[in-house]
Every structure is written in structure tokens, then in C-alpha cells.
Structure 1
């Protein structure tokens, strides 16, 4: 797939099935993430791969977060089914160091976001569909602990990855840029 085609045809897909990326395919995805813009070469992020029987553990962590944060019955039902919607989920944690004056926290957060997007594009380039999900449960204490978060870290994504049931051929959506582009 050509890079420009990939960038202009990317879309989120929520119905994901086996297979998930192999170890070699995951390595390519992580290599793509490591090549995103990174002022200070901090690599202010880390990834948590969740698959197979650990998906049930993720569901337990999400349910615990729902109860801890009083998110209600509807969110509890979503937490119960969340981890069954893809064969692999990759958690992305922004590793924020507020003591680095040269690279402010907001810039470190953007780098983690860029790394997440690069990971998604690398998955797409290898034939895998995905969707970036967050939600209020990402602030759950047990989930943060399981993901190795420190005080200022932020879980920025739960990227669900797998294979689409059926490839749907769609023409790239052309979006009007008139309202978002300005020239000086």
C-alpha cells in the first residue's frame, strides 16, 4: 500500500477477529512508533500488549475501574464485553516527565499520540484493522498499576487490533479542508 493511500483511506474498525499480528508484525509496528517525532529523544511512551487469556484480565481491570470511579451500569456492561471485541489490544501509556523543561509535558503527550498513530498505520499497512479507544475507565487505579503507570503518566489509548471480517472496498473520503487551513 502506498503511504499517501494509507494516510487518506485510514478508518477505524470496531468488528475485529483473528488473526492478530504476529510477534514479527508487532515488532514492525513498534519500530514505526519509535520513528515518530520525539523532541529530546525521550520515547515518552510504552506499550502493553494484551492477548489471549489476558484479555479476560483486562476486562476485570476495566470493571474494577467502573466500580472505583462510579461510572454506572451501562459502562459496566461495556467493560464486560470490551475485551472480547478484538483478538489483541495494545495499551499505550504516555510516560510524562514534568521535570524536563526543554520538552514540556504537553509535547511528550503529543509524541505518545504520534507513536500511537504510527502503530495504527503500521498495523493497517500489514493488513490489520484497528480502532483507538479511551473512555473514563483509563483512570482506574488497578489498570494504571497493571500498565506500569507512574504518578504523571497517562493511559492515552487502548488500540484494538485484528482482522476485518470482510474487506469492504470504499473510495477514499475527500474532506473539505477550507475551514481548517489558513495561509499567512
Structure 2
């Protein structure tokens, strides 16, 4: 069995709160993004991009989304505001994978472009895991709230495919239940 197959069979997400320093170096980040971008991209549209949250920008982004949450939900429990304030400081590096489709393209359907952004996110996670880092792909409310997306640097036409947290785990990996193949695999048969 190849190292790649071993990696894919054992890859695990680690909760972002358990992803600590050290994170990837600048050279490693460049390599991760180069690998992430090597995905199927029908028409070479590059229907995705990246936003990096590292260093002090993590704290500032969390403060901005926490302020928005407080404004939108003034009666919310303060513990949720504090949790939000720490959203981007949970791990050393957070990479936003942004889906930026070309709607109504004459040849490449929007769904294909969205899937390409998902493939970018997964390539990014697998590459980071192959480098020895731990990852977690999170969406949460900031992915769906138009004001939050604007705060994070997305245009009105862009969507947040996910926030990929990257760093070093401070807990051992753990397994979660996986689907039984008998429940999700069928052989195709002609429709009668």
C-alpha cells in the first residue's frame, strides 16, 4: 500500500480548539495552496480563491464577526460572543476557501464550479495532513450571513466554501463512525 493510501485511510479532523502552534511556515503555506489549486477545473475558470487569516488578522477578524453577532443578536448569551471573538484564533492558520462561480457560463454549469471549490478545500486538508499538520473544515454562521461574508472579504457574488483550520494537534486523533458501504453503495440497473 502506498503512503498516499495510508494517509487517506487514516486522515482525521481535529477540533479547531485543539489545533495549536506551530502552524505552517510561509513556504509551507505556498506549497499547500499550490497543491490545493491542483483540482479538476473544467474550462480553467479558477472558480475559487483563498483568504489567509494568520497573525493578528485572526484576532481582528474574530472581533469584527463578534461585533456583528452582538449587533444582530443583542440578547445573545455573552459566552457566544466570546466564542465568536476567538473564531479565528482557535488555530495558528485559517484559510478561507471562497467559491466564486461564473453564473450562466455557456458551457460549464455553476454546480461543477462549486464542486471544484469543494475539491480545493479537500486537497488543502489532505496536503496539510501529509505535511504532518492537523486540520478542520468549518462553515458555521459566517459562511451564510451576507454581512459576515462581507467582513471576511467576500463580494456579494462569492460564497464561503469553508474555513480550513491548520496547525498542530494537542490531542490524539480519534475515530468517528463511518458509513457502512452496504448502506451507500448500489449497482446501477436499467430502469424498467
The two structures share one fold, judged by TM-score above 0.5: yes
Alpha carbons of structure 1 residues 147 and 43: separation in structure 2 relative to 1, 3 Å: farther
- 3-state DSSP of counterpart to 2:22: coil
CA contact (8 A) 1:95 1:153 kept: yes
Answer with 1 or 2: which has the greater Rg. Answer: 2
Partners in 1 of 2:179 and 2:5 — Cα distance? 15
What does residue 181 of structure 1 align with? 185
CA contact (8 A) 1:69 1:137 kept: no
Q: 1:138 aligns with which of 134, 137, 143?
A: 143
Q: 2:105 aligns with which of 97, 100, 103?
A: 100
The alignment's C-alpha RMSD in Å is 2.4
Larger % of helix: which? 2
Partners in 1 of 2:184 and 2:32 — Cα distance? 30
What does residue 64 of structure 2 align with? 61
- Select between 173-182 and 35-44 the one with higher mean Cα deviation: 173-182
- 3-state DSSP of counterpart to 1:120: helix
Structure 2 gaps, min length 5: none
Structure 1 moving runs of 4+ over 6 Å:
169-174
CA contact (8 A) 1:96 1:105 kept: yes
Partners in 2 of 1:149 and 1:84 — Cα distance? 20
What does residue 36 of structure 1 align with? 39
> 1:13-162 to 2 correspondence within 5 Å?
13-14=14-15, 15-67=18-70, 69-70=72-73, 72-73=76-77, 75-162=80-167
Structure 1 gaps, min length 5: none
1:54-99 CA-to-partner distances (Å, cap 9, x unmatched) read: 1111102321342455394354232022223111111111012113
CA contact (8 A) 2:23 2:92 kept: yes
The number of aligned residues is 183
Instruction: Give the alignment's TM-score, normalised by structure 1.
Output: 0.87
